[in-house]
Amino acid sequence: MGKKLNRVLLIDDDESTNFLHKIVLEDNVEIKNIEVAETVTEAFEILERSKGADKTEPDLIFLDLNMPGMNGWDFLEKYKGLHKNSLIFILTTSANPDDKKKAEKIKEVSGFRNKPLTGEMVQEIILEYFPH
């Protein structure tokens, strides 16, 4: 502990998954503001909203791939054009190696993990990406 994050955005269409991930995050790192989006559209609304205000961009975004309508890949496609620099981690249930390969080619993606998010995963990410 001891590390502090300002903002984390969770994008997943399953409410219960978001709820669980929020708890896991809260238990492992101090975060000022955890926001939840159940669709890609909602996620962009949240990202847009933060632009004008004094709020900063999210430090971390956890992204589900399989979502109704616009999916995780669609999110990444649109996100590229925004030139933001949140760290994006894909969290997916499908252990599909093709998805992993595809994700590795996208420079905006920092990591690829299988759901559910665990305390160890959070610790690992904090250690590696937020050492100070």
> Could you list the residues that contact another protein (CB under 8 A)?
13-16, 19-20, 38-39, 42, 68-69
Q: How far is the CB of 23 from another protein (least distance, A)?
A: 8
Q: How far is the CB of 28 from another protein (least distance, A)?
A: 16
Q: Which is nearer to another protein, 39 or 110 (CB)?
A: 39
Q: Which is nearer to another protein, 66 or 110 (CB)?
A: 66
Q: How far is the CB of 110 from another protein (least distance, A)?
A: 26
Q: Which is nearer to another protein, 3 or 78 (CB)?
A: 78
Distance, CA of 95 to CA of 53 (rounded, Å): 38
Q: Which residue has the tokens 């998010």?
A: 117
Q: How far is the CB of 42 from another protein (least distance, A)?
A: 8
Distance, CA of 111 to CA of 109 (rounded, Å): 6
**HSE (CB half, 13 Å, CA atoms) of 63?**
29
Q: Which is nearer to another protein, 49 or 55 (CB)?
A: 49
- Residue 77: burial class (beta carbons within 10 Å; 0-12, 13-18, 19+): middle
Reported residue count of the chain is: 132
